[in-house]
Structure 1
Amino acid sequence: MKKIQAIEPDMLSKIHGASLKILEETGVLFHHYEVLEIFKNYGAKVQDKLVKLSPELVEKCLEKVPERFTWKARNDNYTRTMGDGYLLQPAAGTVKVHDLDGKIREGTLKDYANFQKIYQAGDIYDLVGMIPVEPKDVDPELKHLYMMYETLKHTDKPVNGFMTTGSQARAQLDMMEMAVGGQKVFEKNHYMAVSIGVTTPLTYSWDPLETMLAYVKRNQVPTILCAPLAGVTSPYSMLGTAVLQNAEILAGIVLVQLLRPGHPVVYSPSAAAANMRTCGFSTGSPESMLINIVNIQMGLDYYHIPVRAMSGFTDAKIPDFQAGAETMQNLMLGMLSGAHLLNESVGILDNILTVSYEKTLLDGEIISRIKRISQGISGADRDLCVESIQHVGHGGSYLTEPMTVKNCRNRWAPITSFWGTQEEWEKKGSQDASHRANQMARQILLDAPDSLIDKALDKALLLYMEYESQLISKKIKS
């Protein structure tokens, strides 16, 4: 199917040119001494913390970015290619959970582990990790260790890390290295990716840069993430925000290529149009995705590199009609625009503040529907069936026709929705889709294995966590 576009293709070169002008004349702030030295060594203009990039340097670095890469899983059955088709990324950054008892509360480490189990169990979910919910019952200085441990313990799909400090990023990488069999195996493959957040407008702060350095030096993949708020931290104009967002992402891509030429990097637009009545963050507006589709077009059609899009979010507080409508809107626009990686794809509520068990399953069905739509009409469905139509003739039935018998089980079927009569629905308890999703989530958690790692690795990871905890404790006391 033809991809959704928000602007005409000839505008892409104008956005690129405007972005180059900003990078060359206005520049980007980088709050990191090592990064500033790297830029100096490659001829960029560096004054204090301000870096100005020539168009020639930007273009040269863009040419080196690969169009796709292999995202390795500990279980090869789950290894995926980034840059070819869709990959579904879990929720990230929420602080509350809409639990299976209908309560909205602070998240716990058990919730964190539960979401990893659900991502592992579902065929819809390609990736695991990130921070589907902040575990508030864990020491903030140690939570990166516990979250990584739970991810490794309950999943063997490709892993998303989480942007923290440089030392915390190192610990995540160390633990994954232990899980895959050592440094040589780990650094030979791309096992992990991580979001590198830009502070809009035009600023890269210390911690994201430390995380980027840690990942790239060990051959793992950064996704350059911008989240401008149109009208507040970026221009009110949608194309103005697209230009600013593009310039910020390009600056990060240049840095990655200077660190490691030819290294994979993911172009990750995540803009939102502000609610101008309150100047607040709002993910449910159509304008938010329209801005990002412009940047998706830039990444896909102009730069030809892997692209990630924010997708399954909503302003709704519970999994209601608003949640379904806004999530369907955002997922459909993100997927049908051609983005390779769909972030925040499942379970999100309340502008990325809350994650829902039920909505994680409900969104899985939305994704499944859109995947089917994007496949268009193919295979047996392209047969014009003239002979069959002539054979059945007038007033007959196609139920016993060979094509029907052969293909009758190939049609798409729902995951949480109910297809049947009123009587059948009543017989099954008159449940709505949220209730069915609730029961499905409970069953997944009941069926999940206690652990996917052996005792030796489990012991080694726990010892590493204890060692890191002691180092952190000493550092805090000093």
Structure 2
Amino acid sequence: MVLKTKLEVIAQEDYQMIHDASIKILEETGVAFHSEEALEICKHHGARVLGNTVYFTRKMVEEAIKECPKTFSWTARNAEKSVTVGEGFLIQPNLGPVFIQDLDRGKRAATLEDFSNIQKLCQYSDVVHLVGSIPVNPGDVPQNEKHLHIIYETLKNTDKPVIGHTGYRYEARETLDMVEIALGRKLEHGHYVGVAINPLSPLSYSRDALETIMEYANRNQIVFLAPCIMAGVSGPITLLGTALLQNVEILAGLTFIQLINPGNPVLYSIASNTAYMKTGSFIGGNPEGLLMDIINLQMGLDYYKVPTRILAGITDAKVVDCQAGYETMQNLMLGVLGGGHIVVQCMGVLDAIMTTSYEKFIIDEELIKRMIRIKQGVEVSEEELAIAAIQELGHKGSYLTHESTFEKFRSRWMPTISTCESYMDWEAAGSKDVVVRANRKYKKILGEAPATLLEKDLEKSLKEYMNIVKK
């Protein structure tokens, strides 16, 4: 069973208009690539290059789109946790928060221990499919070694498919090397690790982003192309205009990737929003941002037919309160009902992606489970009509003790952290609100998590590599 409707913002006849406008910009205005090596690759494959600006033709772009796999397998260290991207929807950890928050210590700068803890929560979670990324940015390790510690803690505490992070070229290479050591095989033989690349909006890619793309594509690994445009600041004030700019930047990166490695998996990733025009700052809880992004989601899903990722679940709330709840659920509903294949920024995010909350991570798991159930829709069959039960009971009696209820009552959806009990029962249990219950649950999970998932020899090999390459 599956929900019969998908949320759409534009009509199908609008797809060609947006695509043609994107080609016009790519051919006439071009995109700045701040890397001589990247410019040479584009030039070698027939693109017009003037200075640091690349002009991709319609033919180059449309051939590149055809090269992109519609689905692909993302292989985990534990094969049972491998996933297929492009079917259903997957959840990944947050990307970017620098603060961590909980009831006990409040908001504070995140540490490597916090990063490790979030990986443990992701490993335990039955709604999180991907691990790694930067759910919190640890500030207590040297910047030039941070990528090593991040990927080590990810591999140590999880065995699900891995996401790296964008940085300098050597960081990308060393991250890929460590994943290769953990797997015990060459990366080129499959798709094992992904990375999110943010263009330098408007219409530019930085040297670091391009070099990271080249490292990943040369080793046949997954690239997320995720413009982070603010409508009215780094993009046009109109929602449709920023959606167009986002499409252009994604197509430019997608074409470049296929020039390097035809068939390389690419995620059409949507991460833009409207700006808070009083200050020109980023906000995430407004409804307009997701409406705009669903335009791009439709383009990726229905027109280009490539795997998609959408940023949904953000809130501007500073604590786990009512605002955090309604903004998170608003954005989750828009992103999931829009059909995104991967959803990001939905596991404990607060304060417009500045903070990850331990308690909200647990609460967001339930919100996602609610969305999974909504997306499943209602099964329609003769059995589900329950005609026999209705006629048997007729005008009296209770379905509570009927055989059909006993057969199926365990299939009813149940909350994982919310309470459905009566007020008296809730009061008798200690009158704890949902945040307190979430606090207790995350601590229990961390208390029971294993110290490591790595065998001793593998752990030793990873540490030896880290010591060799430390700058």
Asked if residue 24 in structure 1 is aligned to residue 27 in structure 2, the reply is yes
Partner amino acid for 2:72?
A: F
The question of whether the paired residues in 1 share the 8 Å contact of 2:129 and 2:161 is answered with: yes
One-letter code of the match for 1:172?
Answer: T
Secondary structure in 1 aligned to 2:143? coil
User: Is contact 2:315–2:349 with CA below 8 Å preserved after alignment?
Assistant: yes
Paired with 1:116 and 1:304, the residues of 2 have a C-alpha distance of 31
How many angstroms does 1:279 deviate by? 1.4
Residue 119 of structure 1: aligned partner: 122
Summarize the alignment of residues 206-355 of structure 1 with structure 2, pairs less than 5 Å apart.
206-355=207-356
Structure 1 match to 2:48: 45
Residue 3 of structure 1 is matched in structure 2 by 6
Deviation at 1:424, TM superposition (A): 1.0
Q: CA contact under 8 A between 2:95 and 2:345: conserved in structure 1?
A: yes
Query: What residue number does 1:385 align with?
Result: 386
Contact 2:313 2:349 in 1 (8 A): yes
Mapping for residues 69-108 of structure 1, pairs under 5 Å: 69-108=72-111
**In the alignment, structure 1 residue 409 sits paired with structure 2 residue 433:** no
Decide which moves more: 339-348 or 375-384: 375-384
1-structure distance, mates of 2:386, 2:410 = 19
Take 2:380 and 2:402, find their aligned partners in 1: how far apart are those partners? 17
Give the counterpart of 1:139 among 137, 142, 155: 142
TM score, norm. by length of structure 1: 0.96
SS at match of 1:141: helix
Residue 424 of structure 1 aligns with an amino acid whose one-letter code is D
**Alpha-carbon distance in 2 for matches of 1:221, 1:398:** 51
**What SS class does the counterpart of residue 114 from structure 2 fall into?**
helix
5+ residue gaps, structure 2? none
Question: How many residue pairs align between the two structures?
Answer: 468
8 Å CA contact retained: 2:81, 2:161:
yes
Say what the alpha-carbon RMSD is for the aligned residues.
1.1
Hey, what does 1:163 align to over in structure 2?
Answer: 166
How far 1:390 sits from its partner (Å)?
1.3
Conserved 8 A contact 2:102-2:439? no
Deviations 1:196-253 (CA, angstroms, capped at 9, x unpaired): 1101100000001111111111111101010110011100010000000000000000
Give the distance between the partners of 2:378 and 2:63, measured in 1 at CA.
40
Matches of 2:86 and 2:411 in 1, distance apart?
27
Equivalent positions of 1:443-462 (< 5 A) are 443-462=444-463
Unaligned runs of 5+ in 1: 473-478
> Is residue 2:190 matched to residue 1:189?
yes
Judged with a 3 Å threshold, the aligned counterparts in structure 2 of structure 1 residues 96 and 381 are, in CA distance, closer, same or farther, namely farther
For residues 438-471 of structure 1, the C-alpha deviation after alignment (integer angstroms, 9 at most, x for no partner) is 10000000000000001101111111111111xx
What are the Cα deviations for residues 101-121 of structure 1, in whole angstroms up to 9, with x where unaligned? 141000000000000000000
Partner of 1:362: 363
Q: Offset of 1:359 from its aligned partner? A: 0.5
* Partners of 2:434 and 2:380 in 1: CA distance: 31
CA distances 1:386-445 after superposition (whole Å, capped 9, x unpaired):
222111011211123332111110011001101111111011110111111110000000
1:294 and 1:381 mapped to 2: Cα distance? Answer: 38
Percentage of pairs with the same residue: 46
Moved more, 386-395 or 208-217: 386-395
* Alignment partner, residue 475 of structure 1: none
Displacement, 1:379?
Answer: 6.1
SS in 2 for 1:409: helix
Q: Is the 8 A contact 2:314 2:346 kept in 1?
A: yes
Residue identity matched to 2:136: V
Q: Deviations over 1:49-86 (max 9, x none)?
A: 10011111111111111111101101111100000001
Amino acid at match of 2:75: K
Taking the aligned partners of 1:380 and 1:171, their CA distance within structure 2 comes to: 53
State the alpha-carbon separation in 2 of the partners of residues 329 and 64 from structure 1. Answer: 35
